[in-house]
Amino acid sequence: MKKMTKLLCLVLCLAMLFSLAACASNEQTTSEDTSADTSADTSTDAADDSAAADDSADAGTDGDKTVYLGLIGPMTGDYANYGTSTRDGAQIAVDEINEAGGVNGYTFVLDAQDSQGDPDSAVSAYGKLMDSGMDVSLGCVLSGEAQSVITAAVEDGILIVTPTSSAVACIQGNPNAFRVCFNDAAQGTAAADYIADNNLGTKIAVFYQSDIDYSAGLYETFQTEAAARGLEIVEEQTFTAGSATDFSTQINAIRDSGCDVVFLPIYAAEASTFLTQAQGKLDDVLYFGVDGLDGIQTKVSDTSLIEGLMMLTPFAADAQDEATQSFVEKYLPIHDNIAPDQFAADGYDAVYIVKAAMEQCGKTPEDADFNEAMVAAMYEITVEGLTGTMTWDENNEPNKPAKAMVFEDGVAKLFAE
């Protein structure tokens, strides 16, 4: 009996072992099946997401009917007033054009890169814009940064419409580069002519920055034309970027020269320092500058320092025509309620020049000959801009009239000749 009991127990134990093994086998199979199903689902979801992303990217590319405009200039630092003015003026034009339906089925987008006024940073910014697909360049705001960029742009072949780079060399060597503002040679000549034609004075003292092309170039052509017009340059004083904080020696020399006009072909930051230090020493002379003085009212601590100061510029914010007043109305809220200067107007005009060229040639960035057609169109268009009625000559320079502004109560107003 005991033997039979033992045998029965052994059989039952074996049966239980086989049962457990079978269960384990079934669980493993189930687990593997479940894992395989999950993996397949995850793979399918990932493939779907990837395809959706590709479709989205393709849709964005296919539906991108924009003309990508790039602008480079100082948006921070001592010369930021020039960069931000140009940028904000250009943006107003972009918004107006887009709100009106664009041009040739395309809208505009503006990308303004900060160079901080540094030529190397400007070249890097240009490369970044090209990598991002820039269609038309608005060049650079300052002459010192523009020359390197515009030279580098020759191989790319894109149209460049630089609003405010005034040094003659800025667009030389690049047949695709055009200018909105007057070049320095034209400004220097025009300044001497304006002083002579309006009998503003005959004895001229000049204060300029000798280590930048803008200032030195202006003085060179002013000096030549002044001699031709019978104006006597009785004193010439200079400074450099490294000596732009103390002008007492230069001011004393100008005071002792017996001049009746001080010509200031310099930028507003340095001019504000000069005028502040000259207070009480040069009260009986006329200060006369050119476009670099635009925005000086934002640099001085006391606007009485610029009372009566004159500058040659093609734009007057107080002009009563509808286009100017509409521009001023739109500009004030986005620029700390400061009236627009020539830089803002040049930026605005530059965008409308691009629009006019597109309308003339009938091309879009999708066309293989877009760049060539746009450049050819520049010689055919006439643009009614804020800064005057413009055409372009064989040297890609603008033809338009100059005006003179005089500051009264801190505001630049058109000078009554």
- Asked if 211 and 263 sit in the same domain, the reply is yes
- The pLDDT value given to residue 298: 86
> How many structural domains comprise the chain?
2
CB atoms within 10 A of CB 57: 10
**Would you call 117 helix, strand, or coil by DSSP?**
coil
Please choose, from the candidates 290, 334, 332, the residue with its C-alpha nearest in 3D space to the C-alpha of residue 315.
290
For 19, how many CA atoms within 13 A lie in the half-sphere containing its CB?
Answer: 6
- Asked if 196 and 305 sit in the same domain, the reply is yes
* Domain annotation covers residue 83: yes
Last residue of a domain, one of 313, 335, 352: 313
* Domain annotation covers residue 198: yes
CB atoms within 10 A of CB 399: 11
* Domain annotation covers residue 382: yes
Per the rule left: phi > 0, alpha: psi between -120 and 50, beta: everything else, 113 is beta
Contacts 24+ apart (CB under 8 A), 239-245: 239/207, 239/209, 239/210, 239/270, 240/209, 240/210, 240/211, 241/209, 241/211, 241/212, 244/209, 244/270, 244/273, 245/273
pLDDT profile of the chain (417 residues), mean per 10? 39 40 39 38 37 33 80 95 96 98 98 95 96 97 90 92 92 95 92 96 98 91 97 98 97 98 96 97 96 89 95 86 96 92 96 98 98 98 96 96 88 80
Question: Residue 335 CA to chain centroid, in angstroms?
Answer: 15
Q: What are the beta bridge partners of residue 238?
A: 208
Phi first, then psi: give them for residue 166, nearest 5 degrees. -105, -15
Q: How far is it, in rounded angstroms, from Cα 165 to Cα 307? A: 27
Which helix (H) or strand (E) element contains residue 108? strand 107-114
- The pLDDT value given to residue 48: 37
Last residue of a domain, one of 278, 313, 348: 313
- Asked if 246 and 294 sit in the same domain, the reply is yes
- Asked if 296 and 357 sit in the same domain, the reply is no
For 227, how many CA atoms within 13 A lie in the half-sphere containing its CB?
Answer: 5
- Asked if 87 and 154 sit in the same domain, the reply is yes
- Asked if 363 and 397 sit in the same domain, the reply is yes
CB atoms within 10 A of CB 99: 9
CB atoms within 10 A of CB 39: 10
- The pLDDT value given to residue 65: 94
- Asked if 309 and 189 sit in the same domain, the reply is yes
Phi first, then psi: give them for residue 283, nearest 5 degrees. -70, -20
- The pLDDT value given to residue 329: 97
Q: Which domain holds residue 234?
A: 185-313
Token duo for residue 227: 């001699």
The angle at the Cα of 307, spanning 306 to 311, to the nearest 5 degrees, equals 65
Last residue of a domain, one of 244, 279, 313: 313
* Domain annotation covers residue 13: no
* Domain annotation covers residue 44: no
* Domain annotation covers residue 142: yes
- The pLDDT value given to residue 58: 34
- Asked if 202 and 235 sit in the same domain, the reply is yes
- Asked if 152 and 123 sit in the same domain, the reply is yes
3-state secondary structure 356-398: HHHHHHCCCCCCCCHHHHHHHHHCCCCEEECCEEEEECCCCCE
Residue 113 neighbours by CB under 8 Å, 6+ apart: 70, 71, 72, 73, 75, 125, 128, 129
- Asked if 71 and 143 sit in the same domain, the reply is yes
Residue whose pair of structure tokens reads 């200079």 in the numeric block: 238
**Would you call 399 helix, strand, or coil by DSSP?**
strand
Q: Say what angle helices 80-99 and 342-361 make with each other, to 10 degrees.
A: 40
- How far apart, in Å, do the first and last CA atoms of the chain sit? 139
- Asked if 252 and 269 sit in the same domain, the reply is yes
* Domain annotation covers residue 49: no
- Asked if 211 and 302 sit in the same domain, the reply is yes
CATH assignment at residue 263: 3.40.50.2300
| pTM more than 0.85 | no
* Domain annotation covers residue 11: no
